[in-house]
Amino acid sequence: MGSESEKRREANKEEEEEEEEIVCLESFFINDDYQLTKFTFGSHVLELYCLQSASTDFDLTGQLVWPGAMLMNGYLSENAEILQGCSILELGSGVGITGVLCSKFCRKVIFTDHNDEVLKILKKNIELHGHSSGPNPSAELEAAKLEWGNSDHLGEILQKHKYGFDLILGADICFQQSSVPLLFDSVEQLLRIRGHGNCKFILAYVSRARQMDSAILREGAQHGMLMNEVSGTRCTVANLEGVIYEINLQ
């Protein structure tokens, strides 16, 4: 009898564990437990909705604020003059923390992401800051779907903004090596609209793998770009090495 009871207990335990795993997976894929969170960059205080803990699904990385975004925003807050009156397109905007900071100085910010779930929270944060006070409360803010390498997505954006942008931004967007060529394909198209010297790509890069370090430099060169490390920006962010690159067409 004892052995039968033990077997039933073990069976029930296994069933409960399986149910817990299913619940965890379901909540993982539909996790929208966003919290309004305060971030400070110099004299600028931003509040945005975001998740508080990391996900292992690369498609949902945009629901969080990553170390490279903190690096980028710190750099931009200290060098706000480069944003003044500019038009900006941000790649892989996620919850929009970098674009929201830029909106305080820029005349136009186009936030982009490829994931529909991420776009929902991005639009919510844009609405939150759409009528904010500050140096430039009338900035044009817009969210658009953009999967890197997708000419239809990029074409729709450029149909509305046919003269391109002054700056292209990307903060901590290099997670998967397979996506890097597509990223640089899209960046090259955007840079070539304005031509040499009239548009640049600012990339806040966080090193997580040496293969990725090499990949971004290689892809930049293959796409005819100059990768210039911004002096004084190499630092440690969240126990990882980060750096800011200014990238131009050769």
124-148 residue pLDDT tens: 999 998 755 555 667 899 999 999 9
Q: What is the pLDDT of residue 30?
A: 52
Q: How far apart are CA 132 and CA 39, in angstroms?
A: 16
Q: How far apart are CA 66 and CA 94, in angstroms?
A: 9
Helix (H, G, I), strand (E, B) or coil at 19: helix
- Count Cβ atoms below 10 Å from residue 79 Cβ, excluding itself: 13
- Count Cβ atoms below 10 Å from residue 136 Cβ, excluding itself: 16
Q: Of all helices (H) and strands (E), which one includes residue 123?
A: helix 116-129
Q: How far apart are CA 107 and CA 188, in angstroms?
A: 23
DSSP for residue 230: P
Mean pLDDT confidence for 55-70: 69
- Pull the structure tokens for residue 53: 């803990």
For helices 180-194 and 210-222, give the axis angle rounded to 10 degrees: 30
DSSP for residue 196: T
Residues 118 and 63: beta-carbon distance below 8 Å: yes
* pLDDT band, residue 166 (cuts 50/70/90): very high
Q: What is the pLDDT of residue 75?
A: 97
* pLDDT band, residue 197 (cuts 50/70/90): confident
Q: Of all helices (H) and strands (E), which one includes residue 209?
A: none
Residues 242 and 212: beta-carbon distance below 8 Å: no
Q: What is the pLDDT of residue 56?
A: 45
The chain-wide mean pLDDT, for the chain, equals 86
Mean pLDDT confidence for 6-26: 45
Chain mean position to CA 75? 15
